Amino acid sequence: MKKIVALLLALMLAFVLSACVVEVSEPAETDGVSSILIEDDDDTVETGSTEELSDESSTDDSWREFLKEYEEWADKYIAVVKKYKANPTDLSILTEYTSLITELSDWTTRADDISSSIVDVKDATEFSTELARIAAKIADAAGDL
């Protein structure tokens, strides 16, 4: 039963984080300058040329720092899962696990905020790929229970 719960939590984690992935399509070229459209629930806004946006996003690497910190959190989560696997009767693990799961909400919110702020297609692709890799790493660890 515990294995099923752990697997369900890992799958939920992977699902939540995969929902944070930004889907970006290549903008159409017009007269050598392409523009990016950001669709909102209410309307569509043209944000400017990709050349301007690429220059802006290359200086803002906050998403890389987020991924680094998120992977550190994921490593802590995996360590707790391994400790549980080694000794399922240790109640201190439950406290650590609860703390990590509570932090998951914050990580999800931050991932949403960062994914919506990335405007460069290359950066968005790299962010999505790394986020999926970390989620798979977590799911693999939980699946080993």
- 29-45: pLDDT as tens digits: 444 444 444 444 444 44
- Candidates 59, 67, 60, 77; CA nearest to 13 is 77
- Whose structure tokens read 């998403």? 63
One-letter amino acid for residue 67 of the chain: L
pLDDT band at 137 (very low <50, low <70, confident <90, very high): very high
Model pTM greater than 0.75? Answer: no
Beta strands, E only, the chain = 29-30, 33-39, 44-49
Q: Are 124 and 22 in contact (CB under 8 A)?
A: yes
d(CA 40, CA 38): 6
pLDDT digits (tens, 9 = 90+) for 55-93: 444 447 889 999 999 999 999 999 998 998 888 888 888
14: helix, strand or coil: helix
d(CA 71, CA 110): 13
Q: Are 126 and 114 in contact (CB under 8 A)?
A: no
- Candidates 13, 12, 2; CA nearest to 73 is 13
Mean pLDDT, the chain, rounded, equals: 73
